[in-house]
Amino acid sequence: MNGDQRVEKLLALSNRRHVLEVLRDAFSQNISNKEILIEDYGLMPDEIEWFFSEVAQEEEDLMVSRLLPMIDRMIMEIDDEMLEIVSKEVAGIRIIILNNWKELIGSTWMGTFKGREIEKIEEDKLIILSSTGKEWRGIQSEENITLIGPGIYYCKFYLKDMKDFVTHYTHVHGVLLPKHILEKARRSPPLTYGKFSSHYRKYLTTIALDYNLYDPEDAARLKRIYTRIMYENLSVFEIFLKAIRSMTELDDPKNISMISALPDYFNKILVTKDRYERLLESDNIDVPGLMGYEPGIESVFEIASIDLGETLITLKELKNRFINYGWEVMKRLLPR
């Protein structure tokens, strides 16, 4: 099944699911008359015929109490089939969370926000949607890694002489790290135990969007871990999901920005020269917990042999695949 066929299949399954939900609503009101289903519930005759021929198996006189379990079972089967299809479309895509950013990279800088001093940072993390990492060496042969993907830097903090906390987030399109920092995150203490402890650690959390393609027992175990992660970080995930959908800056490579822990650009957001000039004009360069913005992404990308234009294409593809397919996966994980 190619991409177009998968899209057509998803649409067909989604339509059938909608028909079943409408019928479940009608049957719950003890309404099963075909004319009423057509006139009051907006169903088409062929949709009703499909239900009674394939789901109820021609038994039109079945009691509602027997029809409702059939519908619920069929909806579950459709959901499972849809999940398998969308999982293939997001194969290899991960949600990567670098927790306790300041502590992870060894920064002591609190920063300022709107010209006011920050007294305490309670939570700071980076969440990105990524599929691959590119390893590269700096000018002095130091080992670095770049993770490309749309996401956010999030910070929850207290300003000096204020009782209430403040939250702030900004869009980023990846992270630039010395390799030893990523290894530190990977080796940090696990927050769960067992086969998949690497997915949930103090500094690094990984959610594989294609987990449903794993062995069924492993998939069920991962789903429990991921649901726990989502529950414990629900407010941040809501911001992340909203940010991905509203990320309109991916129309120009000059808008690309990456958070950096590289020694020459330590704890800063690297941007292009063009965007930096625009930021200066807007007087919007304070980022809590970070040392602000700095132009330099072009020079770093040149050393790393990364092309801005190709990066933009990757970002757009990740965003579109997530919106079109990944959202279906996330709905299974978000606490209800």
Kindly give the confidence (pLDDT) of every residue in the chain, 336 residues in length, as a single tens digit, with 9 standing for 90 and above. Answer: 666 777 788 889 999 999 999 999 998 888 888 899 999 999 999 998 888 888 777 555 567 778 888 899 999 999 889 988 999 999 999 999 999 999 999 999 998 888 889 999 999 999 999 988 899 999 888 999 999 999 999 999 999 888 899 999 999 999 999 999 999 999 999 999 889 999 999 999 999 999 999 999 999 999 999 999 999 999 999 999 999 998 888 889 999 999 999 999 999 999 999 999 998 888 667 899 999 999 999 999 999 999 999 999 999 999 999 998 998 899 888 876
Q: Is 129 helix (H, G, I), strand (E, B) or coil?
A: strand
Strand pairing report for 257-260 and 166-178: parallel
CA distance 105 to 187: 14
Domain that holds residue 105: 94-333
Co-location of 83 and 168 in the same domain? no
Amino acid at site 63: M
**Structural tokens at position 239:** 């911001």
Amino acid at site 79: D
3-state SS string for 165-218: CEEEEEEEEEEEEEHHHHHHHHCCCECCCCCCHHHEECCEEEEECCHHHCCHHH
Nearest to 5, CA basis, from 78, 69, 88, 80? 88
Q: Is 135 helix (H, G, I), strand (E, B) or coil?
A: strand
User: 322 and 244 in contact (C-beta within 8 Å)?
Assistant: yes
How many domains are contained in the chain? 2
User: pLDDT of 66-79, one tens digit each?
Assistant: 888 889 999 999 98
- In this structure, what are the phi and psi dihedrals at residue 17, rounded to the nearest 5 degrees? -65, -40
Question: Among 63, 89, 115, which residue terminates a domain?
Answer: 89
Co-location of 115 and 43 in the same domain? no
Co-location of 158 and 16 in the same domain? no
Task: Tell the residue number behind the tokens 């062995």, with chain if given.
Answer: 215
Co-location of 252 and 300 in the same domain? yes
Co-location of 128 and 198 in the same domain? yes
